Amino acid sequence: MNLKELQKRIDDLIDLINYHRAKYHTDDAPEIPDSAYDALLQELISLEQEHPKLKRPDSPANKVGDQPIEAFVKVKHTYPQWSYDNVFSYTELVAWHERVIRFAKKENILLKNLDFKLDLVCEQKIDGLKIILTYKNGNLITAATRGDGEIGEDVTHSVSVIKSVPKKLKQSVDMVVVGEVWMDKNDLDILNKCRQESGEALFANTRNAAAGAIRQLDPKITRERNLKTFIYHIDNYEVDGKQVIIKTQAETFEILQDHGFSINKPILYTDKLEEVQKIYEQQVSNKKSYNHGVDGMVIKLNDLALSNQIGYTAKSPRFAVAYKFPAQEVTTVLLDIKLQVGRTGAVTPVAVLRPVLVDGSVVSRATLHNQAEIDRLDIHIGDTVILRKAGDVIPEVVEVIKKLRPTNTQLFKMPTKCPECNSLLKNNINSTGDESVAIFCPNKHCPAQIIERAIHFVSRKGLNIVGMGDKIVERFIGLGIVSDFSDFFNIKEADIVELERFGEKSTDNLIEAMQKAKNVKLANFIYALGIIHVGEETAELIAKNVVDANKLPTQTYDDLIKIDGIGETVASSVIDYFAQPENLELYKKLISILNIQKPKSIKIKNQNITGKIFVLTGTLNELSRDEAKILIKKIGGTVSASVSKNTDYVLVGGSPGSKYDEAVKLGIKIIDEAEFKKMLN
């Protein structure tokens, strides 16, 4: 972008951020996820750092919160109310830690001791509404929101009806304390159910529900919402008119508890960042198990004198940082749309994105599915989009932020011809006689389809030819060495020499891997064939019931439909596959080359698990998902890809996706990795 385009991007970001800031802080009605808002703000900060001359004096990067609501009496805070800077990765956390040490040394606070370590405190970052409580002679006199950090709203009438807020302290002291008001997730469900029945808009999350309850003019409504508080900071503490010096964060929590405040105790005291990272990962895994909303971890210096000396930036403390949980939804820019031809001939538009970190991994591509989805999103190349992980792993574009759309962009339209072989594309006719929204290349000899089918065949879940990467497969096909699947087992050393960067050792390893792959389980073999609608779990079901590879082509539609878990679509697809002479010929050739192993009969240790259906979601700590699937099958269970009323257990790891929410909604038993391991005995 040139300077004019950069300035427009910055101006548009500021307008949009200010809009969403007000929706969040003032209206309690956010329109985008917090993580997407964070991404917009991070982009603005990055642009301002790269181009400081373009930074505006009114930049929201310098602001704390938002303006107080006009309906409430304004309260000027005696002590400024800061917001934390955010970090989103361990690398950024290390950088913050190094900055703190540099600031300390600059102020000559520390002796120049290379072994010096900072004592840190880790607390949950509660996703609630910040409140400031002021006590005089032990009596609550004011409760205020943060507002813009200098002026907040007087919400004493609402806060005073919250049971966990002391109206009178145990001692006649003067205190100013800071904390969060939050709502229990179960209470939110009850509230939303009532609002739905009365036709009112639902609250998006517990934070918005809590904020909405606090900002009620009628305290009776606030009382009915059953709000709770956690207090975590003391701005001022005086006993008999004398200032009490508090030395550490640990002492802060002791004083708060002694005076009857509800606290959420720190989860870790340490001087090692490695331990901080470990506890952070545990918090990510457990975040949905807490009744209160948690969106990260706050990491502070334990030493308060040291914290005060290190000080603040314009809007944030230097001595503390918020380590946010991996974003489920973020914003990024659509750079281009490419077409991808799959092994079945489906032509899919793929979004080429500015690389962005979402849910713990860097994403630069996402499927756009089909023209109907592109039309629904009204997506243009150059748009800023909201991106999320669907089904835990697949990136998808959720929404276009049209207020950031560049000028002179056009809606993308799918072509009429295959980008690989120039064949005329067509819509398939489904079982009901309707045209599918997806388009296909009908040419089974399309180069892209041939390559994709071959890659699928040798993949880890198929024949598992170790070292046979996508580029190598493509090269073998391009050289004419591989024309069908059986050719993989006739590749010789002289053929591999044709490839670049292959030495003697790597050549020997690849030949050995191809020979080893000849010993293959029936389920893996069925999956490797690439039959439409036959995925990993479906291949397992067919293998368990057919058992003998020689008998698979002779199975009738009625034979297949009798298998529990096999529906009409899959049964028809298998029949259609073997009805094609070239497929049947290749199949016979392969079973003459391969040593296909029949499924083993499994002795079930835990009879209570026999026939139980499991669904997996999230990242497990000690097992990979594939290992967990294998163990489930060994104990007589079945793995399903989606949650339904027939699901018995949902095994949950870190950063679970929509399957977790569906399980909660349906009342399905949710287990963690520890509970799962107990089932194995």
- Active centre residues (catalytic): 125
CA distances from 277 to 92, 94, 115, 544 (A): 12, 10, 20, 43
Question: Helices (DSSP H) in 362-409: which residue ranges?
Answer: 371-377
Strands 384-390 and 74-76: unpaired
Tokens of 429: 């006719």
Residue 627: exposure state from Cβ atoms within 10 A (0-12, 13-18, ≥19): exposed
The amino acid present at 509, given as its one-letter code, is N
Q: CB under 8 Å to 251, separation ≥6 — which residues?
A: none
Phi and psi at residue 367, in whole multiples of 5°? -70, 145
Strand 394-401 and strand 384-390: the pairing is: antiparallel
Residue 609 and residue 635 in contact, taking contact as beta carbons nearer than 8 Å? yes
What lies within 8 Å, CB to CB, of 223 at 6+ separation is 161
The Cα–Cα gap between 499 and 506 comes to: 11
How far from each other are the two terminal CA atoms of the chain, in whole angstroms? 61
Q: What are phi and psi of 161, to 5 degrees?
A: -95, 0
Backbone angles phi, psi at 503, to 5 degrees: -90, -175
Q: Helices 185-197 and 206-214: crossing angle, nearest 10°? A: 70
Cβ within 8 Å of residue 293, ≥6 positions away: 126, 127, 128, 182, 185, 205, 206, 207
Closest CA to 310 of 30, 533, 615, 102: 102
Counts of helices then strands in the chain (DSSP H, E): 23, 25
Distance CA 75, CA 51 (A): 37
Task: Assign 626 to helix, strand or coil.
Answer: helix
Torsions phi, psi for 363 (to 5 deg): -120, 130
Question: What secondary structure letter does DSSP report for 34?
Answer: H
